[in-house]
Amino acid sequence: MTSERHEVTDLPSDITRVGVVGCGQMGAGIAEVCARSGLDVKVAETTGEALEIGRTRLQNSLSKAAARGKISEEERDATLARLSFTTDLGEFADRDLVIEAVVENEQVKTEIFQVLDQVTRPGAILASNTSSIPLVKLAVATSRPDQVIGIHFFNPAPVQKLVELIPALTTSEETIKRAEALVQNVLDKHAIRAQDRSGFVVNALLVPYLLSAIRMFESGIASREDIDNGMEFGCAHPMGPLKLSDLIGLDTVASIADSMYAEFKEPLYAAPPLLQRMVDAGRLGRKTGSGFYPYN
């Protein structure tokens, strides 16, 4: 498949009702972006407890945005009013688009897509926020492979401007254009297209860099501070690679690395032993309070 430049679409979006599966860090961020853009958003979680944690995460994020002057208190309240919550995917029957944002596990995602295929109306787009899992595997698990696409946001979703659009081999041009119109013209994000290859554009470039930094630290070449300061002060990166790995989540970094190594068999994609040990120990970065750095 040859590369080509895609012009920004100026089509209006026909998507007004969005479902988000998962209300963790990424799911909550995606839900916030959509609701702040005026869309009706329904968020699903597996349990009532997880749903309440997600609801609180969203409320806190919007309150912080209001406190910083990013949005007004009226906008915060209006955004909250556009959000609803459920533990029943059957309530997604009226959604125009559903974005899955759960754990980076192919079997879990596939099962969710099979359920969504049954409960959503014909014509609804089914999207995944996956960082690395082949979209075609999720597409062929449904009866509508032409309406499945990757819509990959970056953390934190309310702040980061980039969204990767990843069509599977089965995805129709209509689905691509509908997703692109939503991302660019409604959500006000910058969309880039990537082929359905593990890692897509950003992670295919970023993850080998993160893994190289972990190997450098593991081998004792430099301290964690010197590695991060080297990239922050030497290359003007806003965050060093070890701090960034902690922010992303070491389990997520490892999952993306494993997926990329499984597809390409390149040594630079292989997760270092230290990364695997830290994941096994539950030291996943900021979200658990401990990674390459401690977090209080």
Distance, in Å, from the CA atom of 110 to the CA atom of 142, rounded to the nearest integer, reads: 9
C-alpha dihedral, 185 to 188 to 189 to 194, nearest 10°: 0
DSSP codes of every residue in 209-222: HHHHHHHHHHTTSS
The alpha carbon dihedral of 202, 205, 206, 211 has a sign of positive
DSSP codes of every residue in 252-288: HHHHHHHHHHHHH--GGGSPPHHHHHHHHTT--BGGG
Catalytic annotation, pick one of 203, 245, 255, 259:
203
Q: Which long-range contacts (CB under 8 A, 24 or more apart) does 178-184 make?
A: 178/13, 178/14, 178/15, 178/125, 179/97, 179/125, 179/127, 179/149, 179/151, 180/9, 180/11, 181/9, 181/11, 181/12, 181/13, 181/14, 181/15, 182/13, 182/15, 182/97, 183/151, 184/8, 184/9
Catalytic annotation, pick one of 61, 131, 132, 198:
131
Annotated catalytic, 152?
yes
Annotated catalytic, 131?
yes
Residues 6+ apart with CB under 8 A from 284: 249, 250, 251, 278, 291
Catalytic annotation, pick one of 104, 129, 132, 152:
152
Residues 6+ apart with CB under 8 A from 273: 218
Distance, in Å, from the CA atom of 139 to the CA atom of 126, rounded to the nearest integer, reads: 9
Annotated catalytic, 164?
yes
Catalytic annotation, pick one of 164, 198, 245, 255:
164
Show which residues are catalytic. Answer: 131, 152, 164, 203
